[in-house]
Amino acid sequence: MHSDERRTTALVEAAKAGDVHARDELVHAFLPLVHNIVGRALDGHADTDDIVQETMVRVLGGLPGLRDPARFRSWLVAIAMNGIRRRWHERRQAPVPGLDRAADLADPAGDFTELTILRLGLSGQRRDVARATRWLDEDDRELLALWWLEAAGELTRAELAEGLGVPPQHAAVRVQRMKERLETGRAVVRALDALPPCPELTEILGSWDQRPSPLWRKRIARHLRACDACTARVTGRRGLAPVEGLLVGIGLVPPLGIAAVTADGPDLELAGHGDGTGAGPDATAGPAGAADGPAVRAGDGGGTAGRWTPGRGAAVAGVAAVVVLGAVALLVPSAPEARVRPERPVTAPPT
């Protein structure tokens, strides 16, 4: 076990034992990770901050039932992913939005891709990778949220697989397919940026509404395969660097604007969880379902452990609010393009 893993395990054990400062430190350490998972999966939707805060509340409420502190990170990722899936399910069940539900629509200013580029100072091929994520299929967003962090060194493949609720072998297949679509997206981004533009491609794009989509990704990629001039522009003289190498060590997007999560949780019930159970009524099921992971057994023993009830926070002295307003220490590179050099070129645009 690495030193940071040992430190996390020690923090979790202390937090389970009631150490308020350990709980505060856990929130401070892992809120940026949760913010990046949720933000990228929902592409900066207006619900992002709500789900991030709800996830941290569920984590803190479920700590007493976490059987294996060494699995804290995997458990945390599973809770975040299930929060995302619940929100997706709610949106699919909701009626078609009208003016009265405009607040529930995605905020263009919250585009997580743009936030990634601006807050991490991405440029060159790293910036192109971030922009290429806009061209992925909608079903890829959940996987992208975890794989991006795996490539950046923030998650392991085991944690990614547990977050998806699938075996590692299945996760590997899904990642490979998503990477192929991402590589195609990189080629599309370069083709659209090329100056002067390809006349034939310009004609093909005559009816395009300027919004990235899987349909237009396929149409543009079909042109790239048939156009030698566009192929040469896409690959360039040095080719495309491996995407994993571009993402290594670029850090987490700072979670600006998230209000606060208290170490002992809020003295109120979460919307949609009126039974007052912080870990949720489904806390004993596996991560593949609608539950928050097999390690949580909120309420075991018939007591109130793991439950948020009105006034419970007042019973614990020294409750501290942890506010994340961009002061979280992040590993943001000062020279993004100088951190990683390509190991081998890609000689042709992906298919």
pLDDT in tens, 86-120: 987 776 665 545 444 444 444 444 589 998 999 99
CA end-to-end distance (rounded Å), the chain: 40
pLDDT, residue 240, reads 87
- Residue 261: in which H helix or E strand, if any? strand 258-262
Task: Evaluate if residue 283 carries a pLDDT over 90.
Answer: no
**Nearest partner of 332 among 250, 256, 254, 255, judged by Cα:** 250
Q: What is the pLDDT of residue 257?
A: 53
Looking at residue 47, its pLDDT comes to 87
Q: Identify the residue with better confidence: 265 or 247.
A: 247
336 has a pLDDT exceeding 60: no
Whether residue 184 has pLDDT greater than 90: yes
pLDDT at 286 over 60: no
* Higher pLDDT pick, 60 / 239: 60
- Residue 72 · residue 5 · CB < 8 Å: no
Burial class of residue 122, CB neighbours in 10 A (0-12, 13-18, 19+) = buried
pLDDT above 70 (res 345) = no
User: Is there a cis peptide before residue 196, judged by omega within 30 degrees of 0?
Assistant: yes
What's the mean pLDDT in 37-46? 88
- Give me the mean pLDDT over the 5-26 stretch: 94
Question: What is the rounded distance in angstroms from the CA atom of residue 261 to the CA atom of residue 256?
Answer: 14
Predicted confidence (pLDDT) at residue 203 exceeds the cutoff of 90:
yes
Query: Exposed (0-12), middle (13-18) or buried (19+): which is 303, by Cβ within 10 Å?
Result: exposed
Local confidence band at 298 (pLDDT 50, 70, 90 cut-offs): very low
**pLDDT confidence of residue 111:** 82
156 contacts: CB under 8 Å, gap ≥ 6: 150
The SS3 call for residue 101 is helix
Across the range 46-71, mean pLDDT stands at: 93
Q: Which of 44-53, 91-100, 129-138 is predicted least confidently?
A: 91-100
Q: Which residue has the higher pLDDT, 37 or 97?
A: 37
Is the model more confident about 326 or about 40?
Answer: 40
Confidence check: pLDDT of 332 > 70: no
Statement: residue 250 has pLDDT above 50: yes
- DSSP tag of 321: E
Stretch 238-244: mean pLDDT: 88
Question: Would you list the domain boundaries of the chain?
Answer: 3-94+113-338
Mean pLDDT throughout 247-269?
A: 61
